[in-house]
Structure formats: C-alpha cells, structure tokens
Amino acid sequence: MAATYLVTGGAGFIGRHLCDELLRAGHKVRVIDGLVPQVHGDVEPSLPAGVEFLEGDLRDAGLVRRGLQGVDGVFHLAAEVGVGQSMYEIARYVGGNDLATAVLLENMIDEPGRRLVVASSMSVYGEGLYRTADGTRVGAVRRMAGEASGWDPVAPDGVPLVPVPTDETKQVDLASIYALTKYAQERACLITGAAYGIETVALRLFNVFGPGQALSNPYTGVLANFGARLLHGQPPIIFEDGQQQRDFVHVRDVARAFHLAMTSPAAAGHVVNIGSGRAYTIARVAELLADAMDVPELAPQFLGKARAGDIRHCFADIGKARDLLGYSPSGYLEDQVGELAAWIRAQDAQDRGEDAKRQLEARGLVA
C-alpha cells in the first residue's frame, strides 16, 4: 500500500538512494536536508523527480513540524559524519546529531502512530568482536595502537585475539565523539519510541559505498577518499599498516534495508546490523579500487600511524537482519567496485585527504 514518508538527510548519499527505493515502490517522499557545504558543495541537490524538498536545519522545530505533516513514517538519516573531525568539532557533532534528533522526537510524540527508522553506525561497537585461540568470546577490547606495541589488540595475558563477525549483542564501546553521538541518537529514538508507542528500528550501518558519495568530503567513506586520490593520480593514504578489517556494503542494499525496516512487523524495537557479512583489509580495498580504475601502479601510502578514535577490526554478523528483515546483500565489494570506479572517473572532485590529515596531525590526533 502506498504511503508518504519523511526522509531527514534525504539529499545525502544514502538518502538519495533511499528516495529512489521508495519512489520505485510507489510511495510519496518528502525530504528535509540542510545541504551542509562540506557534503554538498555549492551545487543544487540532485533529488529524484517527485520528491518534495524542504531545505533547512533539523533543529528548526517549525520546519520539522511542516515535514511531519501527513506522513506515515520517518527515516532519520540526517547527521554529521566523520570520526576524525568529530574529535575536534565536538559542538558541531553533538548539535547536528543529538540536538537535531531531540527536536525531531519532540515533534513526533503528539502523533505516535508512525514508525521511525534511524541510521545508527557500526562505530558504536568500538572494536568488533574477538575470540581467543580456544574460542572464548571477548567483547570488551581496547588496544594500545602503535608500530612498536603492535596494531592488533591482545588479551590481558598478551595472547593474540582473533577478530570474528560482530553481532548486536556485543557491548558498545564508544571510541570517538562521532560514535558517542550516533549511540545517543539510537538510544534517544528507541527510548522515546518505547515511551510513546512509536515503533522504532535502529540500523547500525557498516561501511557504505557506491555511486553518489561526496568525493570532495575527506570525512566520508574510505572508498570515496581513495577514489578522490586515485582520480588525481595520487596514492591512497592508509593509516596503520593497512591490515585493519572492515565490512563494505553497497548503498542500494542499505536503501533496501531501510525500506524493509519500515515495513517488517517483527523489526520494531530492535537494533540491526546492515553490512555485507564479509571482511576486507583496507589495503585490499585500495588495491581493488586502483585495479578497477586502471591505475594499479598507484600503490597505497602507509603512514604507520593511528588516528584517535580509530579501531582495528569490525565487520558484521548480519544474521539478525536476515531473520527480522529478510535482508541479504545483492552482491559484494569485489563484484561491485567496477561500477563505483566508472562513476568516480566521470566526476570532477577535489582531493582534500592531505588537508584532513594535516588537521588531525595539528591537533595531536595522529600518533
């Protein structure tokens, strides 16, 4: 049955793909987006035809009330995104993520019949799940990162730990201001939803990639950062030794997961991982993209340094998404990177990776 949905942050990377997904299903879509210059530059948003667009800050209660009029559900994607930047633009991240969410929630409680699906992040886990050599689960891991001490976390007795897929029962460990704000977003939505009868689902997104990422924003996804460097004939910049592992999921799969979360009765009240279920080293990701862009000679530049707030390994167990949402990825990074490479080659983007690195180094956030 056709419905009307509000998508906050709907002019962003994931938001635009979600709008496409909803329109294809016959729904009406309204978007609120502040068009943050760091993400959007100075160009007009390229929203799909038929989307109703309201430009403005989500902290504007009047704007939010207009956006909520007559909608059947809300997808809350609006957020400041960037682990490194969050460590020095703290007020910006707390305001844009948590205060904005509070304003949205306050204006939803008078009409509680609508479902809310909020974009959370894998960053809330901190380090992913590990097991010891004998199979014992270890869910609370911190590391002393450095070339001398080793990049990988170890058990208290110094025994190496084995990274394994992270499920939703793994306790959170907030290693950055960004992670803190995303967890606050997630919990505020679930707490308010439980109190007021707003069916709420939180999706913990892993590393999202695909056409449409903001290549000139150095705080967006790692594949976009690598793409901007390769496009300008520069090698990808990789912190540590490149053997850290992440899970990469295509943006169209993420958009489909949001749609499923809005319509799946069993999902209400749950936190659900959305990823591919596969682990890739960052060095391998750089290699895959360079090959797809026909510049394999641009080998990565390994810095041998860690950023404050970064974790070593985290990749998704997607069993809960499969069981509750009927979700599974349509493909995997190695099959889909060619599409991304073709899109990147057609772009005119600035490479701001060095600028971002200098900002972090100037504040002592790289060691």
Q: Does residue 259 fall inside a structural domain? A: yes
Residue located via tokens 């097991």 = 131
Q: Does residue 367 fall inside a structural domain? A: no
Three-class SS state of 323: helix
Out of 5, 178, 219, 280, pick the active-site residue.
Answer: 178
What's residue 310's pLDDT?
82
CATH number assigned to the domain comprising residue 181: 3.40.50.720
What's residue 120's pLDDT?
98
Tokens of 57: 């800050």
Q: Does residue 162 fall inside a structural domain? A: yes
Q: Does residue 299 fall inside a structural domain? A: yes
Residue 178: active-site member:
yes
Q: Does residue 118 fall inside a structural domain? A: yes
- The total domain count for the chain is 1
- The enclosing H or E element of 190 equals helix 177-196
Three-class SS state of 137: strand
Q: Tens-digit pLDDT profile for the chain (367 aa)?
A: 899 999 999 999 999 999 999 999 999 999 999 988 777 655 567 788 899 999 999 999 999 999 999 999 999 999 998 888 898 999 999 999 999 999 999 999 988 789 999 999 999 999 999 999 888 898 788 877 555 567 898 887 888 899 999 999 999 999 899 999 999 999 999 999 999 999 999 999 999 999 988 776 666 778 988 998 999 899 999 999 999 999 999 999 999 999 999 999 999 999 999 999 999 999 999 999 999 999 998 999 999 988 776 889 999 999 999 999 999 999 999 999 999 999 999 887 665 556 555 665 566 555 5
Query: What is the rounded CA–CA span in Å between residue 274 and residue 125?
Result: 13
Q: Does residue 216 fall inside a structural domain? A: yes
Residue located via tokens 């790692």 = 222
Query: What is the rounded CA–CA span in Å between residue 143 and residue 242?
Result: 16
Antiparallel, parallel or unpaired: β 245-246 and 280-281: antiparallel
Domain ranges, residue 162:
4-362
Q: Does residue 80 fall inside a structural domain? A: yes
- The enclosing H or E element of 24 equals helix 13-24
Q: Does residue 32 fall inside a structural domain? A: yes
Tokens of 147: 């070339």
Name the percent of the chain in helix, strand, coil, to the closest 5: 35, 20, 45
What's residue 134's pLDDT?
86
Vertex 285 angle, CA 89 and 357, to 5°:
30
DSSP state of 96: I
